[in-house]
Amino acid sequence: MTTRIIILGAGYAGLLAANGLAARLRPEAAQIHLVDAEETFCERIRMHQLAAGQAVKSVPIDRLVPKKRVRCHTAWVSSVDPEQKQVVVRKGNRTEHLDYDILIVALGSGSAGSLVPGVDEYAYHLSHTAEASALDRRLRQLGSSDRVTVVGGGMTGIEMASELAESYPRLPVTLMSAGQVGQWLPDRSRRYIVRSLSDLGVVVREDTEVKKVDANGLHVSDADYVDSDVTVWTGGFQPACLTGTEALESNDCGQIIVDEGMRSVSHSDVYAIGDIASVPGPNGTAMRMSCAVGVLSGWRSAQAIAARLSGRPMRKTPLKFVGQNISLGRKNGLVQFVTPDDEPKKAHLTGRKAAWVKEFVSRGAMLTPHLIRRFQRRRPTDLSVGLAAHNGARWNT
């Protein structure tokens, strides 16, 4: 009997799942279908580079999976029906209903700015290639007197402000945060980031909450108004919303709750991976949204499904972090070493070496699907664990 497996989303998590399953399961045992709205894959962890006008490589999705084992569908996912075990997709003006035996939801996340008035209408985002490209086009039109404001003091905001200031030194760039910039980091690491931003000419404005965004600027918490010709919103992410997933047990953030095999705790034939899943970490709490978790949960789901279909026990390798990588332009960065559950340690790496580590990890994440597919033809299936770690899959980017 052939098992029909449908994977929704071809980001890091979806690609790892597709390649891991193709390597583990024989063609007669499973049909693997990969559905994504885009024909090409562009690394999300490079969106700030794309927005700053740098050349970022996109690769056709069908080149990242074995064509004979994985069928790629370019289509929008309209809804899922976990009870009928069916997915509805839209290809142009045509609607299709796809039946599944096992469903993997890997649709990722988008900007969490919709709760603030005006963000959706007037701010730029970095969740997808089209959004980053639109920001790039707008920035190219600006003059030296135009002002750019990046909202959000997390990793994405820090990287975006740094990249813009380095790529457009003539533009005044402000980084605005509701709390401290990099507030989750040790004081020494945080001070290094703020100093590096200042060296690039970025004005850092902390403890400033944005209440509303309009076409000309931002209304902030102290009743002030900040003029801004271009506003970039990086104030957090939220899991993708899909009709039908409300039937799945979810947490308060809207993430699908899964067990250690990435299997929905409420629907046994549904798996969730990446940002849309509440992935349990070493201490049982949900792991933070990141490329690392996408890679780790992707191969874990393939491992779990292959074990389920073969009747063999799943090898339980802990999902854990090693470090957080933050780029501060192309020649500077910070690597913050962390505990397995993502708590910062005292140790960190800075400067050019940190920038090199960040680039190495980013390239490794892109190569992991290729390497898993290539080596698993000749090696035991569990080699994906070693490959993922070797290519930086455990590093939070």
Amino acid 365: pLDDT: 58
Q: How far apart are CA 108 and CA 287, in angstroms?
A: 14
pLDDT category of residue 385 using cuts at 50, 70 and 90 = very low
Beta strand 237-239 with 109-111: parallel, antiparallel or unpaired? antiparallel
Query: Which of the 8 DSSP states describes residue 391?
Result: T
Q: What would the pLDDT profile of 146-175 be if each residue is shown by its tens digit? A: 999 999 999 999 999 999 999 999 999 999
Q: How far apart are CA 149 and CA 174, in angstroms?
A: 5
Beta strand 210-214 with 217-220: parallel, antiparallel or unpaired? antiparallel
pTM: 0.88
| The pLDDT of residue 367 is above 90 | no
Q: What would the pLDDT profile of 56-104 be if each residue is shown by its tens digit? A: 888 899 988 988 899 999 999 999 999 999 999 998 889 999 999 999 9
Summary count for the chain: helices (H), strands (E): 9, 26
Residues ≥6 apart with Cβ < 8 Å to 284: none
- Residue 71 Cα distances to 7, 48, 85, 221, angstroms: 10, 31, 19, 50
Query: Which of the 8 DSSP states describes residue 264?
Result: B
* Averaged pLDDT for residues 14-37: 93
Given a contact cutoff of 8 angstroms between Cβ atoms, the answer to whether 160 and 234 are in contact is yes
